[in-house]
Amino acid sequence: MSVDARARQNNPKWQRNLKRRLAKPALGNGRVQRACKMAFIAFDGPITTSDAIAWAYPRHDRRPNHLNVAVRRALVGIGAIQVGHARTRGRPWLWAQHDAT
């Protein structure tokens, strides 16, 4: 471990120099965000909100609303855009990656 890393661990929070920290170190690295990225890779095109929920929460049989909210927030966080509605039951949103449109 470097000297700076050791010093950082020993400094109390109020003494840390936050200007040295990366601007947004965890941007796009959340668990649900990574799962949504993998869903885009697996489907190779637009995905529905339901597809993203199935990839982010594979063990959930029921789909409470907070899962929808978390997945939609993650999709917006990775830069996905809403491109329309699916033709399936309930007409979930279709999402596409920003660079794929």
Contacts (Cβ under 8 Å, ≥6 apart) of 97: 40, 78, 79, 80
Is residue 61 within 8 A of residue 18, CB to CB? The reply is: no
pTM value? 0.72
- Please give the domain boundaries of the chain with CATH numbers for all domains: 27-100 (1.10.10)
Q: How far apart are CA 36 and CA 74, in angstroms?
A: 7
pLDDT at 45: 92
* Residue pLDDT, tens place only, 41-78: 999 999 999 999 999 999 988 888 899 999 999 999 99
**pLDDT tens for residues 14-42?**
777 778 877 777 787 899 999 999 999 99
> How many CA atoms lie within 13 Å of 61's alpha carbon, on the beta-carbon side?
0
